[in-house]
Amino acid sequence: MEVRIIGDPVLRKKAQAVNNFDDELEKFVEEMFSTMYLYEGVGLAAPQVGVSLRLFVMDSREENNKGKKVVINPEILEYLGEEVSEEEGCLSIPEIFEDVYRPEGVKVRYQDINGNVIEEELHGYQARIFQHEYDHLEGILFVDKISTLRKALIKKDLAKLSEKGKQRAKEIKKLGDEIKI
């Protein structure tokens, strides 16, 4: 499973709902977790591996796997608390880290791997990961949320990565290596 990088058109599409909760989905989710851990990430959205579905995995690395979640067809019901600035990075935008403002908490609804509906409040690091990954499902990248000045300062790096991402997307399409689930 290959992580797509900025410039790949799949990262800018609004993802489609997941309708089939089957063994194929379960295998896909397992591969996503493996890929996320391989790249030392804390979240990975399906579009980041070339699949335009409303699904992401996350692990805030808390005790007893409390921060490990499979999130399918998520909704953010309410933003909670103050906006807080923290540094973010992204597996799809390697080696670039910038401060991003996000609400400290969120009230969310989503389905788990079995299709069960879960509603909960998340705060702090979990809320940040959830919002970051949710943005991927909307075709939004964290660099879209940084200041114009910061964006100007990393413009060349983003342009290089974007060109690389476009090229790799063409190669994947040409080879027929796209993941189907």
Strand, helix or coil for residue 133: helix
Q: Would you state the pLDDT for residue 163?
A: 94
**DSSP three-state, residue 132:** helix
CA-to-CA dists, residue 26 to 112, 115, 136, angstroms: 11, 11, 20
State the pLDDT at residue 134. 98
Per-residue pLDDT of the chain (181 residues; tens, 9 = 90+): 899 999 999 999 999 999 999 999 999 999 999 999 999 999 999 999 999 999 999 998 877 677 899 999 999 999 999 999 999 999 999 999 999 999 999 999 999 999 999 999 999 999 999 999 999 999 999 999 999 999 999 999 999 999 999 999 998 888 876 677 7
Count of beta carbons in the 10 Å neighbourhood of residue 153: 12
Q: Is 99 helix (H, G, I), strand (E, B) or coil?
A: strand
133 is catalytic: yes
What structural domains and CATH numbers belong to the chain?
9-175 (3.90.45.10)
Q: 3-state DSSP: the chain helix, strand, coil percent, rounded to 5? A: 40, 35, 30
**What pLDDT, on a 0 to 100 scale, did the predictor assign at position 140?**
97
If phi > 0 it is left, if psi is from -120 to 50 it is alpha, else beta; for residue 11 that is: alpha
Q: Cα–Cα distances in Å, from 87 out to 99, 136, 143?
A: 4, 17, 11
DSSP 113: T
- What pLDDT does residue 61 have? 83
pLDDT of residue 116: 96
pLDDT at 178: 65
The Cβ of residue 157 has, within 10 Å, a number of other Cβ atoms equal to: 14
Binding site residue list for Fe cation: 90, 132, 136
β-strands 68-90, 117-123: how paired? unpaired
Which segments are annotated as binding site?
A: 90, 132, 136
Residue 32 CB neighbour total at 10 angstroms: 22
137 DSSP assignment: H
pLDDT at 174: 84
What are the CA-CA distances from residue 144 to residues 99, 104, 164, 169, 175 (Å)?
Answer: 11, 19, 19, 21, 30
Residue 68 CA to residue 89 CA, distance in Å, equals: 19
Distances (CA, A) of 89 to 97, 98, 100, 118: 5, 7, 10, 27
Report pLDDT for 119: 97
Give residue 177's pLDDT: 65
Tell me the pTM: 0.92
Catalytic residue chosen out of the listed positions 87, 133, 163, 178: 133
